[in-house]
Amino acid sequence: MNFIEKELDLAKQIYGQYAISVEQAIQKCDEISVSIHCWQCDDGTGLEGSGLPMSGGIIATGNHPGKAKTFDQITADLEKAFSYIPGKKKVNVHAIYLDNKGHFIDRNEIEPQHFNKWIDWANKLDIGMDFNPTFYSHKMSESGFTLSNADEEIRRFWIEHGKRSRKIAAYMAQRTGKPVVNNIWIPDGDKEVPIDTAGPRKRLKDSLDQILSERYEGVIDAVESKLFGIGSESYVVGSHEFYMGYALSRKDVLITLDTGHFHPTETVSSKLSAVLQFAEGLLLHVSRPVRWDSDHVVNFDDETRAIMSELVRLDAFARTHVALDYFDGSVNRIMALAIGARNTRKAILEAFLQPVDFLKELEGRGDRSSRMAYTQEFKTLPFGLVWDAYCQQCGVPAGTEWITDAQNYEKAVLLKR
């Protein structure tokens, strides 16, 4: 018996005192797929080749060496990151990561075949895919308005992009044999509060209706709100209230809850039970805001842990699609992917190692004192022992073993780019 096996045996004994099965917790955690975003590899630059800087109220900061510049570099970096991340995975791709073979193809002209390389790669790894139309960093989005633009030519351009993106998502689903979440986020908004706040929202509603008018097998559509962005500090067309109303009034459209897209004092964990009373499911974007939607690398912090605990308590993972969404160019980008994904997976596993039925029983008896006491004491149970064993079972490094390997990859590969 090796050291980690001894740790696991000890953890089983400790958790077993509270009728918690470590094996079942690991199994349930492992069944949940986490969608890992390709845009962390290159700070959201994409492969479109337009030469335009990132815009749309978002920004990636930092200039750490080794940024991926080609499809082969991005996928190589993703594979290296995947080797550190336990559990089922999907790859999340934006439209600007198309394979245009060196010839510029505009957003309203993209076709399913432009993503064959991604699909072939995903199939080689036997992982699923998710997709996102890209409504930012384009000459037709410079005004700050896309699907809600008053200029019909601009609006038609973006509607066509949205329609084509859904066809691409359907093609991905057909070729991979796995459902594809197609998430719509737009940067539309204003630095000041406009006089006409309803007009853009009316146009956005019409644009979405046109984009989503056709049903596609295997495509799960979602719409994502945001509180504000750079240049849209005072007014965002696709607000939480707008998209909540839209998703709940449209069949087969999910609401996306991004952990960085709300007021600093709001938490996504507190919204889950309310939203899921009415929504059939949701898309969860796991990120980390620091005073604003700054898309920091996900930590094993209180809110991430609270979100996953709430999903377990609600028995809602079957209705929730989990995806990462952050981009940090100030650190080793592969390590950023691994850190965020491992922390997300840690929070999921820890959530399954709680005595939910026992705590609910205490709550049902009105014993709030014991409920609080047990909840706090459980925070110090040896979760790390179970995590190490889970990593070993998945064939990825436990503990800090992966860090040296990532540093060696940086020296051997990233610094030579």
The two structure tokens encoding residue 4:
């980690």
Q: Is 118 a catalytic residue?
A: no
Q: Give me the residues paired with residue 80 across strands.
A: none
Burial class (CB in 10 A: 0-12, 13-18, 19+), 275: middle
Q: Is 185 a catalytic residue?
A: yes
List the catalytic residue out of 77, 221, 295, 410.
Answer: 295
- Phi, psi at 233, each rounded to 5°: -70, -30
List the catalytic residue out of 285, 303, 310, 402.
Answer: 285
Give the DSSP letter of residue 300: S
d(CA 32, CA 87): 7
Q: Is 258 a catalytic residue?
A: yes
The answer to whether residues 221 and 182 touch, using CB atoms and an 8 Å cutoff, is yes
d(CA 387, CA 347): 10
List the catalytic residue out of 303, 325, 350, 410.
Answer: 325
List the catalytic residue out of 130, 221, 224, 310.
Answer: 224
List the catalytic residue out of 261, 271, 321, 346.
Answer: 261
- Phi, psi at 286, each rounded to 5°: -90, 120
List the catalytic residue out of 185, 303, 328, 387.
Answer: 185
Q: Is 206 a catalytic residue?
A: no
Count the neighbouring beta carbons within 10 Å of the beta carbon of residue 361.
Answer: 13
- What is the SS3 string spanning 20-70? CCHHHHHHHHHCCCEEEEHHHCCCCCCCCCCCCCCCCCCCCCCCCCCCCCC
Q: Is 285 a catalytic residue?
A: yes
| CA-based end-to-end distance of the chain | 43
Q: Is 325 a catalytic residue?
A: yes
Active centre residues (catalytic): 185, 224, 226, 258, 261, 285, 293, 295, 325
